[in-house]
Amino acid sequence: MAVKNLAYFIDRLKLSLRNDVCALCQAVPVNRQSEMICIGCEKRIFLRNPIPNIQLPAGSIYAACEFPYKMKRMIYGLKFRQQEQYSLMLAEVLIHYWMKLPEYRFRNVVVVPIPPHKGSGRNHVPQFARPFASQFGMDFMEDGLIWVKSVQSQHELFNKRKRRENMDGALQVNPALARRLKPDTHIVVIDDILTTGSTLAEALTAFNRYQPENSVSGLAISHVPLALRRV
């Protein structure tokens, strides 16, 4: 079915060897069977309540936290500077939040990252999506989605309608991989930042269109309101 390669198992080993302290402050003890982040760090990153940011007919879209400086430094450090030390920390934020969501009850889950834009030269989302999947033994389908039309970078668009139009029909489920999905699978699509939700909404719609019998949700690390994208 989906890929569980050597990197997947190395991620799982790295997570199992982490000390029983908060993933972010690296100081406060935590029970890593049920939490990855201490209460103090939950407040500092503005961890969100386990309710959808956006509810669509295709499924729910969540963001784990807001976008304070600490999260911005980690996401942008990994995305633009290849600072790979942040990949496990970002995965642990997702792990911590996922355990609070109703979707956590699903046993047969496949994780699919938003693919990089053609020519972007960056492919950072799998670096935290894969360890997130490995923590729970979920299947990881890195090429589960493919771009089928050229799109303008969303961070260049400051209008919700234009963002939605830009993404309309842009993503498609990879037929070669989707044919191997089991019935009653829950698919969780991972991205780094949720602004208007257009990218994740298009991904959920693509899966819902291709295999409506399977449920799907979207999960981003941080929520960044559109107004702040201008800053």
CB burial of residue 119 (10 Å; 0-12, 13-18, 19+)? exposed
For 129-167, how does the pLDDT look when each residue is reduced to its tens digit (9 = 90+)? Answer: 999 999 999 999 999 999 988 776 666 656 677 777 778
Q: What is the pTM of this model?
A: 0.92
169 C-beta neighbours (distance < 10 Å), count: 12
DSSP states of 57-100: TTEEEEEEE---HHHHHHHHHHHHH--TTHHHHHHHHHHHHHTT
CATH, domain 6-19+51-65+103-230, list 3.40.50, 3.90.1150, 1.10.760, 1.10.10 = 3.40.50
Distances in whole angstroms, Cα of residue 102 to Cα of each of 16, 105, 154, 193: 24, 6, 29, 21
For 163-211, how does the pLDDT look when each residue is reduced to its tens digit (9 = 90+)? Answer: 777 788 889 999 887 777 888 899 999 999 999 999 999 999 999 998 8
Using CA atoms, how far apart are residues 106 and 103, in angstroms rounded to an integer?
6
Using CA atoms, how far apart are residues 154 and 77, in angstroms rounded to an integer?
19
Nearest to 182 by CA among 217, 225, 227, 138: 138
Is residue 131 classed as helix, strand or coil in its secondary structure? helix
